[in-house]
Chain A
Amino acid sequence: MAILEIKNVSKFFGGLAANSDVSFSVEEGTIMGLIGPNGAGKTTLFNCITGYYPPSKGEIMFDGRCMNGLDPDKVCMLGMVRTWQKVRPLAKLSVVDNVMVGALARTSSLKVAREMAMEQIKVVRMEHRVDFLAGGLPIGERKKLEVARALATQPKLLLLDEVMGGLNPAESEEIIQLILDIKQRGLTQMVIEHDMKAIMRISDRIVVLTSGEKLTEGSPQEVVSNPDVISAYLGESHA
């Protein structure tokens, strides 16, 4: 069953079409990879899906419900949560407090929220950082903190915007394992990533965007062997 359906979504900024007529759907329990060159409109699409921008045209259906025009907080309460390409830690709060802010979406009790937060901190293996200030963490741990905080809101769909950007190979490997762990628990994920090797390994299906349009969609193997994709990434002569 499709948990998320993007139907002919377009987003215009003045005359510029950041997304035009994008359609695809994400099956429950799978990982959808979203790739494309810089400026292809991947993050804009995330912003449309999570309520930061209203789409100019088209419809976003999540869990059988139209999400157009809902604010980000409503989107989160309905079970869809994102992380940020440029990480946004709550710098003056400790790691556990950061994750608790996420958990408080589902409870009003600080005690329960703390338990929920500790659970997610365990998932991202940051138990040794519980009382550290989020602002003082290195980038790899900030990225993991983002994931833990998003998970604490108990989502049905997790949208990860370049969680591996700026990480070294060992840290990326850790994140890959984390994403696969999360899949094991039955959570649907949509992942924007530039690291092709990583996205090939984790995705069940991949959507390729270029210049705001959907170029193609398919399994990782189908996508890499598609000449259009190769020419979009490497230029015509390589296709």
Chain B
Amino acid sequence: MDKTILKTAIGLIFLALLVAIPRYVESPYALHMMILLFMSVVQGQSWNILGGYAGQHSVGHAAYFGVGAYTTMMLMHTKQIAPWYGVWAGMVLVVIVALAIGSICFRLRGPYFVLASIAVAEILRLSAINLTTLTNGAEGILATELPAFKIGGTIVTDFVTKVPFYYIGLFLVLLTLGITYWIQHSKLGYYFQAIREDQDAAHSLGIHIALYKNIGLVISAVLTSLAGSFYGIYVGFVDPATVLGLDVSVQIMLICIIGGMGTLWGPILGSLVLVPLSEALRSNMITEALVKVGMVNADSKIGIFLKENLSHAHVLLYGILVVLVILFMPDGLMGFLKKMAMRRKQEAV
């Protein structure tokens, strides 16, 4: 009992810190990093519900991310509908898309489901490129002017700084964590895991396989679409490659594979690894650090090569990371930590 009180206390202190950060940290870059982190946690946790708990490894979650982002942005751009209404439209649309995909793809198992999920996301990406009247094609939609958010005439926020986005992100993180926690401690979670472990056995125990897979997909897709809408209004720009591309799907999945699938904290750990890594690569921080330490001469051939190429190498590094994780930590960081804790316990005995 003391342990749970301690855990809650630590959680609350941590939450208070997160809430307080924007009051004391003014650097927009630091806030930007936190927002990216939040977005990544939401994406990962949404995927985790379907992929980690129910064992349906979708490599097409960009579909839901993209539909959410596009719907909100299109409504704001063409109809001037504020994003906090557009988000709902995005969610409704995503439920329809998810049920359509689910009713077709869940007839397939294992690798065939994975392939089908990739295909569906690619269909949506190509549609977004080619339906130019609707989506503005490959050019994408730019809509950076957000209307002020008012409640009863008083302006709550005008979205000029990054602070409101920070709190929206934090709220979405808490929402997805809460939903995952609830699933884990309900019949739904048991049934998801039973389906993951052995579909035929689950079926014989009275579990309606198609129904529960679709429930998992809808929850996962709606949360992913929320992340997509958030991405759209935060960045102010969507195009087919950045919200519907295959690498979006892969990155969402990587968060869980690296952090630990089917665990509450896995996606958070995964995001803590992946977000700083991709940011360091993108901003060429690693090359600069190597030069500073003196390991690489900035003007040597290697230095120039790194400077030119390392910022595009994130996909390569993700690949290497996945290989390492699968070889040495098949249950992700979470599984690895649990194993270490168990070993320590056994050694203590």
Contacts and interface: CB of A to CB of B under 8 A. Distances in A.
Do A and B pair up? The answer is yes
Nearest to A107: B187
Interface string A55-83: 00000000000000001110011000110
A18 interface: no
Given A73-B207, A73-B209, A108-B187, A84 B201 contact: yes
A93 B197 contact: yes
Interface string A91-104: 11100010011101
A230 interface: no
Interface in A89-131: 89-93, 97, 100-102, 104-105, 108, 110, 113
B263 to A, nearest CB: 11
Nearest to B202: A101
A84 B190 CA distance: 20
A34 to B, nearest CB: 17
Q: Which of A52, A88, A105 lies at the interface centre, i.e. has the most chain B CB atoms within 10 A of its CB?
A: A88
Interface string A137-172: 000000000000110010000000000000000000
B81 to A, nearest CB: 39
Nearest to A50: B204
Contacts of A105: 205-207
B278 interface: no
A71 B205 CA distance: 11
A93 B205 contact: no
A101 B203 contact: no
A90 B194 contact: yes
Given A90-B198, A110-B185, A76 B190 contact: no
B205 A102 contact: yes
A77 B205 CA distance: 8
A102 B200 CA distance: 13
Contacts, number: 76
Nearest to A106: B206
For chain A, the bracket of interface size reads: 20 to 34
Given A73-B206, A93-B193, A88 B201 contact: yes
B341 to A, nearest CB: 16
Contact of A110 (B186, B194, B198, B202): B186
Contacts of A77: 206
Given A90-B197, A93-B197, A73 B187 contact: no
A89 B197 CA distance: 8
Contact of B191 (A52, A91, A104): A104
Nearest to B211: A73
B208 interface: yes
Contacts of B204: 50, 72-73, 76, 81-82, 84, 150
A100 B193 contact: no
Given A73-B207, A76-B206, A88 B187 contact: no
Contacts of A153: 205-206
A73 B193 CA distance: 16
Interface string B175-199: 0000000000111001101100110
| Among all A-B residue pairs, the 8 with the closest Cβ atoms | A105-B206, A76-B206, A90-B197, A88-B201, A72-B203, A101-B194, A88-B198, A73-B208
Interface of B: 185-187, 190-191, 193-194, 197-198, 200-209, 262
14 contacts: A73-B208, A76-B206, A84-B201, A88-B198, A89-B201, A92-B262, A93-B197, A101-B194, A101-B205, A102-B205, A102-B206, A105-B205, A105-B207, A153-B205
Given A92-B193, A101-B193, 14 more contacts: A50-B204, A52-B200, A72-B203, A72-B204, A73-B205, A77-B206, A89-B197, A89-B198, A97-B190, A101-B190, A101-B202, A102-B206, A113-B187, A113-B190
